Structure 1
Amino acid sequence: MILVWDPLCFLLFAVVVLVLRPLGVLLSTYHSELNLREKIFISWIGPRGIVAAGVASLFGFKLQEEGIPGAEYITPLVFLIVLGTVLLNASTARPLAYLLKVTLPASNGILIVGANRAARVIASYLQANDRHVVLVDNNPSNVNKAQQMGLEALQINVFAEDLEQHIELLDIGYLIAMTANHDVNLFVVEKYKDVFGELGTFRLLSPEEMKIDEAYRPSQGIFSYTDDYLNLNEVARDNPEIHELPLVNSEQLDVLLKEFHRDERIPLFIKHPDGFLDIIPKDPSHLPIDQGGYSLVYMGKSLSQGSRKFTEA
């Protein structure tokens, strides 16, 4: 107890946290691309761990056996630093990250599993709207076509490989599984729902699900309640265009969604006034369309002039 309250202990703790750790980080990142704020943050979040405690205990006991003066202080001092840095970093890391502005912005990136024609057209639109889009597919031809369009695409077998090994998922907020294989779509959504959350993983309806009454279809996690893989790719083949139609009110949206069932048009997103893209939910009535500034994003034949158009290269 006397050792813990000795001012020299706190001085040693301060030297480790405020001098030695920052100095080591600055030297090791001298030619890196990290800015000063990032280096300061890394310097701060440097808790000592079990390795330091284990080594200190071993050497402390050995030195005590050799009769070295002061050896009995090594182990408690190291444990003081371990506990102190863990508690200090755990309680201050988040506020410091916000203060230094080193936190990631909102995760608006989109990971699309499947690089088929419809996926490529949708990805082109998303990328043109400043979204970070990554497509993954086991088919090298699909991946090559996506890359030729300037899209980020990787050849990955989602059954055999983990996406985290190939893709930085920190800025990816949503996953859309839109392969031709319903089992693959289900597998991917189930595997990564803990990463993206149940509200961040979406898949296509299977042909069997398309046949059942809409009331009995899944209430969430579906990308397009109106069309399946076959419909999406037929429209993408015949009319690989994506358009934005300004909405006046919720009634107009409801009418359009019903009309699109009979036309060669597929509704994809609701674009908010601030540019945010919302996947159309099963019941879009809660969206504040009446406030103005919203648009319906759809693929297929244009309903009006001046639409934005995205096609395969």
Structure 2
Amino acid sequence: MLDSVLFQIAMIITIGVLSQWIAWRFRLPAIVIMSLAGLIIGPFFGLFSPQETFGEIFSPIISLAVAIILFEGSLSLDFREIRGFRHSIVRISTVGALIAWLLGSLAAHYLAGLSLDVAFVIGGLFIVTGPTVIIPLLRQAKLKERPATILKWEGIVVDPFGALVALFAMEVVFFRNQMISGTSLLLFFGASVLAAVIGAGVGFSIGWLLERGYIPEYLKSPIVLGSVLLVFVLSDAIMHETGLLAVTAMGIVMANMHLSSLRDLLHFKENISVLLISSVFIMLTASLSIDTLLEILNWHMLAFVLAMMFVVRPLSIWLSTIGVGLTNKERTLIGWIAPRGIVALTVSGFFADVLVKSGFEGAEIITALTLGLVFSTVLAHGFSIGWLAKKLGLQATEESGVIIVGGGSFTAVLAEAIQSFDKPALIMDREWGRLYKARQLNIKTAVGDILSEHTEFSVDLTPYETLIAASGEDAYNALICHRFLPEYGREHIYQTPMHTGDPSDYSKTLGGKTFLDQGYDIHTLNHLVDEGYTIRKTTLTEQYTYSDYEEDQKSQTTIPLFAVDQDNNLFFLEDNKKRSLDGVTIVSLTSPIRKIIKAIEKAGNSEVSPSTDENV
């Protein structure tokens, strides 16, 4: 059964997705888990060998997957995102890449023992990082906006250029050794320009057709996906490795046409990319041999890898970012994070084959050298990015916060209660006046429509893991929940109960989960706060259980809002009915009568229940 092609395909996808889930569940770098999973089922235990199973179609499958991943990444490269630090990205992608190419080539020659010709070629390839490794790391680390955006743009933009730089270097080496004529160099430049033109032209044409309704909704994603594959294959047929440039150009053009249906395309491509990244990493690592892995332990290779990580990368970033406005902490973080991934692994095999067949000495160790760099950077950067960002103060937040859409009395005191647990809270509203109460309580606020594109680029939503739609308009709340469902997930999207009509007017697929019981709509909650209701915290103990809490609250109007456990994790009681509540602090909106009862108890020196009960 293990030899069945269908079985291996199913297992590769399953193990890849399972690795992603394990990484999410235990807050580990997804790339590391996927790589280890591939090594376990491949060279360590010999359960699968995808390269043997798929034979001649192994490399084409990997190449097409990389093309889709790179296109999906480039679809997010909207130039509006980099206002204020465009110079940093341009410098790193040009001057920084050139410095890394030259220094990497010298390291490959003097430390890894490659000939100057081979080192010149492979040094060009090693400037790449790529979305397959950068984007999972950024998702895990939750960096601040500027370093995260710079790393993302560098990874996507430099990816195709790394392959082209290596291809150009190989053409120069062949020309220097009189193996080709000068015409071939001109053809290389011509093919590169043509690939970019093909990608940009197809991207613009598809975007034009999408906007004018010439493509039906159900065919939009399939047609775009098919076009990406066609552009990649056509460009690659003209000249090898130019397909990556073509699909990147196609994605960037479409991203900056500001298409109305772009977000739907992005969600579709993101889902595919998760499957492809998982599967491709499993396939590549599972196809390695023990001999190749042992080659990595050669001290020459270890010295090269260490030089690339601790000398070449930091030096190229620090030199290329002089005078562009980045802080030393940002330059330190960016100068450390440069994991290599799928593109380096797949493209290095092509160059190794060509150079070995052409008789260049040392080219046979290119695959092992690439593998050593990939694994070392993935492990080192995967486990260190969060720690280093925290030390440098470049993490958006250590705690997962809450964004509340809708200003008012209730949302202001709710946000204040959330902030009292050292969790970030943001209240956003389309009208400045509705945020008056929040500003009085020193709550972070933002004016604007969360559904607008302008807000997407002006408000950093990274620190907020949970969204509560609490505006005065039921339809607007439902629309907000529907819009942000793919980003936050259904478990982290809430909306206040409807105050008009029937709750069944909105399906579960449109709105979010209901925040509080029906009847406590936002207008009622605002009225209660205006009437004197206050936030109260009650800590449960073995002596004072949740049952005691419920019994005590029967004599007064109390509305449980959320709870925080001993590890400072915020959750909603409705979602955790089976959760142990020992040591949990329940935050409630309580009637003013509670103050009167407490005052009477204090005056009469009566015994009170052994719970921690206080006002915020």
**TM-score in terms of structure 1 length:** 0.69
1:295 match? 586
C-alpha displacement of 1:179: 0.7
Match for 1:134 among 423, 426, 442?
426
2:113 match? 8
2:401 match? 109
Match for 2:385 among 97, 100, 113?
97
What is the DSSP-based 3-state SS (H/G/I as helix, E as strand, rest coil) of the residue aligned with 2:414?
helix
Q: 2:317 touches 2:334 (CA, 8 Å); kept in 1?
A: no
Which amino acid is 2:447 matched to?
Answer: Q
1:39 match? 332
C-alpha displacement of 1:197: 2.0
Q: 1:268 touches 1:279 (CA, 8 Å); kept in 2?
A: yes
Q: 2:402 touches 2:464 (CA, 8 Å); kept in 1?
A: yes
Q: Go from structure 1 to structure 2 and tell me whether the alpha carbon gap of 1:158 and 1:296 turns closer, same or farther (over 3 Å shift).
A: closer
CA–CA distance in 2 between the matches of 1:144 and 1:296? 23
CA–CA distance in 2 between the matches of 1:256 and 1:208? 32
CA–CA distance in 2 between the matches of 1:295 and 1:81? 55
2:532 pairs with 1:244? no
Q: Go from structure 1 to structure 2 and tell me whether the alpha carbon gap of 1:237 and 1:107 turns closer, same or farther (over 3 Å shift).
A: same
Q: Go from structure 1 to structure 2 and tell me whether the alpha carbon gap of 1:174 and 1:211 turns closer, same or farther (over 3 Å shift).
A: closer
2:563 pairs with 1:270? yes
Moved more, 246-255 or 81-90: 81-90
Match for 1:159 among 439, 451, 457?
451
C-alpha displacement of 1:228: 1.3
2:493 pairs with 1:197? no
2:523 pairs with 1:230? yes
C-alpha displacement of 1:230: 2.0
CA–CA distance in 1 between the matches of 2:312 and 2:449? 45
Moved more, 251-260 or 265-274: 251-260
C-alpha displacement of 1:87: 5.5
What is the DSSP-based 3-state SS (H/G/I as helix, E as strand, rest coil) of the residue aligned with 1:207?
coil
1:58 match? none
Moved more, 83-92 or 238-247: 83-92
Q: Go from structure 1 to structure 2 and tell me whether the alpha carbon gap of 1:164 and 1:298 turns closer, same or farther (over 3 Å shift).
A: same
CA–CA distance in 2 between the matches of 1:98 and 1:250? 36
C-alpha displacement of 1:160: 2.2
C-alpha displacement of 1:166: 2.6
1:57 match? none
Identity in percent: 16
What is the DSSP-based 3-state SS (H/G/I as helix, E as strand, rest coil) of the residue aligned with 2:494?
strand
CA–CA distance in 2 between the matches of 1:179 and 1:34? 39
C-alpha displacement of 1:85: 5.3
CA–CA distance in 1 between the matches of 2:329 and 2:467? 29
Higher helix share: 2
Q: Deviations over 1:8-58 (max 9, x none)?
A: 3357776544322111334437971518xx8266424264998xxx9xxxx
Q: 1:257 touches 1:267 (CA, 8 Å); kept in 2?
A: no
CA–CA distance in 2 between the matches of 1:233 and 1:7? 68
What is the DSSP-based 3-state SS (H/G/I as helix, E as strand, rest coil) of the residue aligned with 2:490?
coil
Match for 2:498 among 182, 203, 206?
206
Which amino acid is 2:313 matched to?
Answer: R
Unaligned runs of 5+ in 2: 1-107, 115-300, 348-357, 600-612
What is the DSSP-based 3-state SS (H/G/I as helix, E as strand, rest coil) of the residue aligned with 1:199?
helix
CA–CA distance in 1 between the matches of 2:560 and 2:502? 16
1:121 match? 413
Q: Go from structure 1 to structure 2 and tell me whether the alpha carbon gap of 1:210 and 1:274 turns closer, same or farther (over 3 Å shift).
A: farther
Which amino acid is 2:463 matched to?
Answer: D
Unaligned runs of 5+ in 1: 55-69
Q: Go from structure 1 to structure 2 and tell me whether the alpha carbon gap of 1:173 and 1:16 turns closer, same or farther (over 3 Å shift).
A: same
RMSD, aligned CA = 4.5
What is the DSSP-based 3-state SS (H/G/I as helix, E as strand, rest coil) of the residue aligned with 1:281?
helix
What is the DSSP-based 3-state SS (H/G/I as helix, E as strand, rest coil) of the residue aligned with 1:193?
helix
Q: Deviations over 1:263-295 (max 9, x none)?
A: 3x432122434544322316x542323x34543
Q: 1:236 touches 1:299 (CA, 8 Å); kept in 2?
A: no
CA–CA distance in 2 between the matches of 1:48 and 1:293? 43
1:286 match? 578
What is the DSSP-based 3-state SS (H/G/I as helix, E as strand, rest coil) of the residue aligned with 2:589?
strand
CA–CA distance in 1 between the matches of 2:309 and 2:584? 51
C-alpha displacement of 1:141: 0.6
1:174 match? 466
Q: Deviations over 1:193-246 (max 9, x none)?
A: 22222211111121358778xxx9x9x832212511122111011115211234
C-alpha displacement of 1:303: 2.1
Q: Go from structure 1 to structure 2 and tell me whether the alpha carbon gap of 1:19 and 1:122 turns closer, same or farther (over 3 Å shift).
A: same
CA–CA distance in 2 between the matches of 1:19 and 1:259? 69
1:65 match? none
C-alpha displacement of 1:128: 2.9
Q: 1:250 touches 1:285 (CA, 8 Å); kept in 2?
A: no
CA–CA distance in 2 between the matches of 1:189 and 1:39? 38
CA–CA distance in 1 between the matches of 2:398 and 2:431? 31
Which amino acid is 1:8 matched to?
Answer: G
What is the DSSP-based 3-state SS (H/G/I as helix, E as strand, rest coil) of the residue aligned with 2:479?
helix
C-alpha displacement of 1:175: 1.0
Q: 1:210 touches 1:228 (CA, 8 Å); kept in 2?
A: no
CA–CA distance in 2 between the matches of 1:211 and 1:14? 60
**TM-score in terms of structure 2 length:** 0.38
C-alpha displacement of 1:256: 5.8
Q: Deviations over 1:76-124 (max 9, x none)?
A: 9999998875555344422233564749565421111111221112112
